[in-house]
Structure 1
Amino acid sequence: MPQTHYRTCHLCEAMCGVEITTEANTIVSIKGDKKDPLSAGHICPKAYGLKDVHEDPDRLKQPIKRTAKGWVKISWEEAYAEVVQNIKSIQHTHGKNAVGIYKGNPNVHNLGGQLYGANFSRSIKTKNNFSATSVDQLPHHLASWGMFGHSLLTPIPDINRTDYMLIMGANPLVSNGSLMTAPGFGQRLRALQTRGGKAVVIDPRKTETATKASEHHFIRPGTDAVFLLALLHVIYDENLTNLGKLADIVTHQAIIPELVKAFTPEKTAPITGISAETIRQLACEFAQAKTAVAYGRMGLSTQAFGGVCQWLINVLNIVTGNFDQPGGAMFTTPAIDVVGLLGAIGATGSLGRWKSRVRALPEFGGELPVCTLAEEILTEGEGQIKAMVTIAGNPVLSTPNGTQLNQAFAQLDFMVAIDIYLNETTRHAHIILPPATGLESEHYDLIFHSFAVHNTAKFSSRLFDPVPEAKHDWEILQDLANLLNGEPSTPQEKEKQQKNLFGRLSPEAILDLALRTGRYGSKYHKGSNGLNLQKLRAQPHGVDLGPLQPSLPKRLYTKNKQIILAPELFIQDLKRVEKVFWNEAKTPDQQFDLYLIGRRQLRGNNSWMHNSERLTKGSNRCTMHMHPQDAQKRRLQQGQMATVSSRVGNIDIQVEITDQMMPGVVSIPHGWGHHYSDIRLQTAQQRPGVSINDLTDELLIDELSGNAAFSGVPVKVE
């Protein structure tokens, strides 16, 4: 008999509800769950990838070991023993920091990775922690930490109620939100326009979102900070500021007009490529709209001034009265408040407590920028990384100068990967520990409920039992942490071990505790009204907790519960902006005369879903978009192969000529490049594509945060 199962798709940030029908332990259909209070039936093609991952014959289900004769299966006991012995031996010989850890993007989509990853990292006791954060959203966290006192206290655009939305460097029609969980963004955009609102996109490419928006304006890559400064200049010059109810809790108000004074529209127009008239029009429209919200994402974060950009986005929303107000930028109030739980123990963020050994880049929140990982392995001397642990990550394809990192991993003394696939990165491991995953696991989105445009809660039970003797990711992380920590030798260590929930409790027990003590739990709602895991299980479509609500100043973690409008670190970094754009005109050099930007695709999911035939089939999507006049200048034709080169390498890629690109800019999608011959992934081998990160430069970063500057890499095309 067919059975129906409801859960959340965990393959991206959108948290779409899915309805999965099975028969005889086989998936027969996947469709959108119309009763899901957040997604209301919306899904994208990636949802069907849930079936592909579950049924993929290439997915690893038992530990494997690399030998001179190839990969062989081993027992969990043997795998654990070898991992623990090698980590301890290398740290004994070379020091604690000789072991590095890298956590990939899927960790934030996995309950086990979210709950138990930090405890495992602490058991390694290394300062060489890296993750996908520093090739993605680190500038967002830096701005939140500096302004609101907590790195995860992220303002979310209230698109459901806004009248005017300024979208910069983002393509939410494809992503369905990024640090703005908004499944069915297309419907939300249409609803905004139907009620008389306006959406304006600023981007070097006329994206799918820009095509459906009210307006689109090209901007030169890497100049968004200058554009935002010009908008603020106009707003102050025209006396259009309005702090409203926030006036008493916003500090450093008088500093901003002085900081933006020099950035007139006339002076910035030649830099950004957006006319002075347009800048003035957009500034006035934004400030005078009934409600408005500015939203900037990957294109802003992954550039040389990512931190300044995300700070200025917040400033723009605040000084126009569009912060902590319906229709503006607001904070979520999720059932499990990760921000509050971390804030309660003082874990609100940090910057520069230590620095990387080679390039002296600062840690943020306990992690170093991943753009420095390869050099920390390749550069000899005290503190050199000799061993790596990678958890659900493929940094060879997803971080700058992947070719260099590939070479670095090849020389490690030891490497262990917790991963379900043999891929471009894990092929260097000595041991691979594959967890049960996806539909075999319980799921609750700890992070993305905190980024959602509407407050909901949903727990997904597992659909299938794992194969016998399989282990979940949380069990692997818990087991290894306990083995590395060893038996407590003192009463203090024993007491500490007893207090460590992640060393002894299951995910369900921790979730139940977090729900009960959360905003909607029994701690605040006595009797039968309080939310707990049992009640959430009984609501398979999820629970509607209502729209975003004003929460300031209570939600802040700064001293005296105040918003710091102009933190000193951003004021100082403005000097770098002025130096680059006033004194050193930002133009391509004679050799590398084009700017490279990335491109997100609806059927792509970073670098870990390309063994799904349904997500990779069809015409070639790994192409380079180029404006007609740039193609004509180089005598390139539609469909022709071209060589793209940067400081770090070159690739050959098919040319796609389109006027949706700004002249002087080319675009290549990320997540491709599965081309190593010794990897057995069948579909990936059929459609390998090329990796954009064979071109991106590990030396191009946002100097303030250390985040990779993918947007605007200088390249040449031949």
Structure 2
Amino acid sequence: MTQLHPTACILCSRNCGLTVEKEGRDIRRIKGDPAHPVSQGYICQKAARLDYYQNSPDRLTKPLKRQRDGTFKAIGWDQALTEIAARLKEIKNKHGGDAFAFAGGGGQGNHLGGAYSRQLMAAMGSRYSYNSLGQEKTGDFWVNGRLFGNQGCHTTEDVEHSDYVLFIGCNPYQAHGIHNARDTLKHIRNDPNRTMVVIDPRRTETAEMADVFIQIKPGTDAFLMSAILGVIVQEGLMDERFLTQRTVGYQEVLDVFRKVPVKAYCETADVSLDTVQSVARGFAQAKRGCVRIDLGIQQTLNCTLNGYLEKMLYLVCGHFGKQGTNNLHTMLLPILGNTDERKQIKGKKLKRTAYHGMMPIAGIYPPNILPDEILKAGENRIRAVFVDSANPVLTWANSQAFEAAFQSLDLLVTIDVALTETAALSHYVLPASSQLEKWECTGFNLEFPVNAFHLRKPIFEPLADSLPEPEIYTRLLEKMGVVESYPWLTRIAKLQPKASRYLPFLGAFVGLLARNPKQFPFAASILYRTLGPTLKTAEGDTPDAAAFLLPLCMDYARRYDKAVRRAGVKGSKLTLGIGLFERLINSPSGAVMSRHDYDEVWQLVANRDQKIHLAVPEMLDALRNLSITESTSQAYPFTLMAGERRTYNANQIYRNPEWRKVDKHGFLRLHPDDAAKLGVLKGDSLIVKSANGEVQAVVEPDDTVRPGVCTLPHGYGQRFLGGAEQGPALNRLSASDWCEPFSKTPYHKLIPVRLETIKEVAA
């Protein structure tokens, strides 16, 4: 009988449940898991190719140390971690904690290790954490903090129950991001009582299914959303009752939108006034309206303002806090902090970077500035960087700057499953077990009102000498002398009676931290070493790396006890969190952890009055001063929208180019009229040049893009097995300073380029 192993897809934030049929170390078949509480058997074509990740020929098998001649030598774990620990302590003692930065972590479904990697920052005394959210979402997080009272308040969208959906700068058909995206889109398209509006510079696959498609001029999203809001407010279509009862400062906001020159803004965005008016009226008058956005408006001009306007669309119309609208949600893993620059943390001002003086947002610093903080900050520069499950050289803006910066470091350590382009520059490379070889989970459990969590067990043994991140970091911290051994705590964990279920251990653990508060930042590793080995699931597995979830479950059940009980979790006030923990470790396909009522969304608003504070002075000033910015020029007449989602591209964990069934070159999509002017046909090559660099791309004439606009996909540019670049390495085109001044978010969707034929270049 064939055994099916439950796990999850690791290619996007949805982390759909999968079942895997294997033979030895090979994956024979992948299907959607009908037992998964969220995806319920849904799967897309990308997940079916996961064997190209798991069994890639460039998997790392041993720790590597760079030699003087630039080559790597395989060494043992003890030597690697001993030497790295000594180097880290030396750098900290000589230059202080600010000389250290952490980069990456949490690649898609690779989230369980995040609790362990954060401990290294505590050991170094550094707050400098850089990750990909810092080049995508921090403007949005900042706005959330001002509106809802905490940057950890994050909104979700109930698209599947909405009557009127606005998709702005996103293509769920390819990028997903919503519940079972393609099924949901088909249901909306086939229902005459529901309306789908897509706003995008390209006629995407989602746009092809829409009732209304608005093909906006790139970079003018703030003008279009302001125009829609202008129509709503000027025609009195806002929800006055909602605004009065649930918000603060709405009159000041409405006054700004009353002055919006709707017609002029439509002309700026190059869209029809009649269409904008129709969409504004339809959305405002819908019973259940919803907005879904993504990187299309988050990596372009006015991206922080775009995040504010997107939220004003549904808040001004009262499409919030009910089924089919936008809502807040709970999170089990604390993946976002609250680093509001107006406040202090424990009496200390927020740490700003040495060169740019940049503040963190939600605890994250923007990758765009990291090369400068390494190369230009003088004696206060960053000298050591740990990179975890990330490839900044390829995936963060300005590859050339990252190459120069990383090569200048005193210490660069990379933890990954393959010798990535970043790992190739490192002093030490530590081989991580794959996401299918260790206990893992997803931190992106962003559902409301029903929220779920999926702790998945390994379905393969770790490859060769690779180790899971919890073990890597715990050993390193032990080498550094910051994590102590507590055999007495292990004995208590082993002796705990079933009746009290972990309570004696938790009491002893809390007492330990109270007596020795300096050990608090290392709680995850202490739990991993003491409680972890004693844990057993109903199937007899040992989810040791998940031990830190126990106190998180206790806290979650304390805060949302009614919702946890509605999910069917049993327990007293003391043991409800234990019941939740046991549910999670005993549910290989994932489990529902809470069921909220819709009116409980207001308990998630962090403002003391539990109202939404609409008037954000910085955003209202930006609205009053909104002006046209032309990105193109005679030297660079085309707009490149970089990072398009396509049928066979994904994050950087797919390195073997053979996984792609189509689009192996990463085509440059170009309007047929522009292709004709350049004298190129499908399959011809062009040089794409920006002010920062150039790449070569293969042309595909495509009338879904506007004239003067071209697109390239993300996920290409790797040097697989040390060979030539596989497709366009986009971030050779992006510049560090081509970004929003406020959040430092790169303008990936608005890169000015020129296109040259190979003959022109040769001449």
TM-score, normalised to structure 2's length?
0.85
SS at match of 2:445: helix
Which residue number in structure 1 is paired with residue 726 of structure 2?
688
SS at match of 1:504: helix
Q: Residue 538 of structure 2 corresponds to which residue in structure 1? A: none
Q: SS at 2:103's partner residue?
A: strand
1:532 alignment partner in structure 2: 580
1:254-311 deviation digits (Å, cap 9, x = unpaired):
1112222342221112211112222111111110112111222101111121111111
Residue in 1 aligned with 2:441?
444
In the other structure, the counterpart of 2:615 is 566
Matching of residues 248-397 of structure 1 within 5 Å: 248-333=245-330, 336=332, 338=334, 347-351=337-341, 353-379=350-376, 381-397=378-394
How far apart are 1:74 and its partner, in Å? 1.0
CA distance in 2 between counterparts of 1:431 and 1:690 reads 27
**Cα distance, 1:442 vs structure 2:** 1.5
1:37 equivalent to 2:37? Answer yes
Q: Which residue of 1 aligns with 2:94?
A: 93
CA distance in 2, matches of 1:491, 1:618: 55
The answer on 1:594 being equivalent to 2:638 is yes
Matches within 5 A, 1:401-550: 401-445=398-442, 447-451=443-447, 455-467=451-463, 470-484=466-480, 486=482, 494-497=516-519, 500-506=522-528, 507-517=545-555, 518=557, 519=560, 525-526=570-571, 531-544=579-592, 549-550=598-599
Question: Displacement of 1:113 after TM fit?
Answer: 2.7
Residue correspondence of structure 1 range 622-701 to structure 2 within 5 A: 622-675=666-719, 680=721, 685=723, 688-701=726-739
1:574-589 to structure 2, matched below 5 A, reads 574=623, 578=626, 580-581=627-628, 586=630, 588-589=632-633
Aligned mates of 1:553, 1:194 — CA distance in 2? 33
Q: Render the CA deviation track for 1:670-698: whole Å, top value 9, x for unaligned.
A: 121124xxx625xxx47711111111121
Q: Confirm or deny: 8 A CA contact 2:85 2:476 kept in the other structure.
A: yes
Secondary structure class of the residue paired with 2:198: strand
Match of 2:160 in 1: 160
Q: 1:111 to 1:368 in 2, by over 3 A?
A: closer
Cα 1:105/1:441, change in 2 over 3 Å:
closer
Against the structure 1 CA distance between its residues 198 and 270, is the aligned structure 2 distance closer, same or farther, given a 3 Å change threshold?
A: same
Does the Cα contact within 8 Å between 1:176 and 1:185 map onto a contact in 2? yes
Q: Which residue identity lines up with residue 561 of structure 1 in the other structure?
A: Q
SS of 1:43's equivalent in the other structure is: coil
For 2:206, the equivalent position in structure 1 comes to 209
Aligned to 2:740: 702
Q: Aligned partners of 2:304 and 2:242: how far apart in 1? A: 26
Of 625, 648, 653, the residue aligned with 1:608 is 653
SS at match of 1:72: strand
Q: 1:712 aligns with which of 746, 750, 758?
A: 750
After superposition, the Cα gap between the structure-2 partners of 1:34 and 1:569, relative to the gap in structure 1 and judged at 3 Å, is same
User: Are 2:235 and 1:238 aligned?
Assistant: yes
How far apart are the structure 1 equivalents of 2:370 and 2:513?
38
Could you give the per-residue CA deviations for residues 369-419 of structure 1, whole angstroms, max 9, x where no partner exists?
A: 111111222225121222221111111111111122112212222211111
Aligned residues: 693
| Corresponding residue number in structure 1 for 2:498 | none
Counterpart CA distance in 2 for 1:262 and 1:521 is 46
The answer for the alignment partner of 1:172 in structure 2 is 172
How many Å apart are 1:13 and its aligned residue?
A: 1.0
Please, which moves more after superposition, 128-137 or 87-96? 87-96
Per-residue Cα deviation, 1:462-493 (whole angstroms, up to 9, x for no partner): 112224654211222233334446378x9998
Q: Could you say what the CA RMSD is over the residues aligned between the two structures, in angstroms?
A: 2.7
Question: Counterpart in 1 of 2:503?
Answer: none
Q: CA deviation at 1:314?
A: 0.9
Counterpart secondary structure, 1:407: helix
8 Å CA contact retained: 1:394, 1:608: no
Displacement of 1:138 in angstroms is 1.5
| 1:529/1:483 CA distance change after superposition, 3 Å | closer
SS of aligned partner of 1:715: strand
**Distance between the aligned counterparts of 1:493 and 1:103, measured in 2?**
33
- Report if the CA contact (8 A) 2:104-2:131 is conserved: yes
Q: What percentage of residue pairs aligned between the two structures are identical?
A: 26
Residues 551-588 of structure 1, C-alpha deviation per residue, up to 9 Å, x if partnerless? 2421111232221112223223335x52x32xxx5362
Structure 2 CA distance for aligned equivalents of residues 687 and 379 of structure 1: 29
Cα 1:82–1:24 shift into 2, 3 Å: closer
- 2:346 aligns to what? none
**One-letter code of the match for 1:460?**
R
**Residue segments in structure 2 that go unaligned for 5+ positions in a row:** 343-349, 485-511, 529-544, 757-763
Contact 1:38 / 1:454 at 8 angstroms: preserved in 2?
no
Whole-Å separation in 1 of the counterparts to 2:449 and 2:203: 25
Q: Distance in 2 between matches of 1:554 and 1:453?
A: 12
8 Å CA contact 1:175–1:602 kept in 2: the answer is no
Tell me the distance in 2 between the aligned counterparts of 1:42 and 1:553: 31
How far, CA to CA, are the matches of 2:448 and 2:6 in structure 1?
A: 19
Secondary structure, aligned partner of 1:416 = strand
Structure 1's 652 and 470: CA in aligned 2 closer, same or farther, altered over 3 A? closer
Confirm or deny: 8 A CA contact 2:247 2:612 kept in the other structure: yes
Measured at CA, do residues 380 and 313 of structure 1 come closer, stay the same or move farther in structure 2, by a change above 3 Å? Answer: closer
Name the counterpart of 1:554. Answer: 603
Give the partner amino acid of 2:85. Answer: V
Deviations 1:483-527 (A, max 9, x none): 446378x99983431674213112322223433442355798436
Distance 1:472 1:6 in 2: 19
SS across alignment from 1:109: coil
Larger displacement relative to structure 2 (690-699 or 524-533): 524-533
Secondary structure of the residue aligned to 2:429 is strand
Aligned to 1:75: 76
Does the aligned pair in 1 maintain the 2:82–2:476 contact within 8 Å? no
Distance 1:656 1:186 in 2: 25
Check 1:499–1:215 CA distance in 2 against 1; reply closer, same or farther (3 A cut).
closer
Q: C-alpha deviations, 1:214-260, integer Å up to 9, x for none?
A: 22111111110111111111101100000544532311101112222
SS of 2:160's equivalent in the other structure is coil
Relative contact order, CA 8 A, sep 6+: which one is greater?
A: 1
Conserved 8 A contact 2:136-2:298:
yes
Q: 1:622, 1:653 within 8 Å by CA — same for their partners in 2? A: yes
Q: Could you tell me which residue of structure 2 aligns to residue 9 of structure 1?
A: 9
Deviates more, 1:523-532 or 1:1-10: 523-532
The TM-score normalised by the length of structure 1 is 0.90
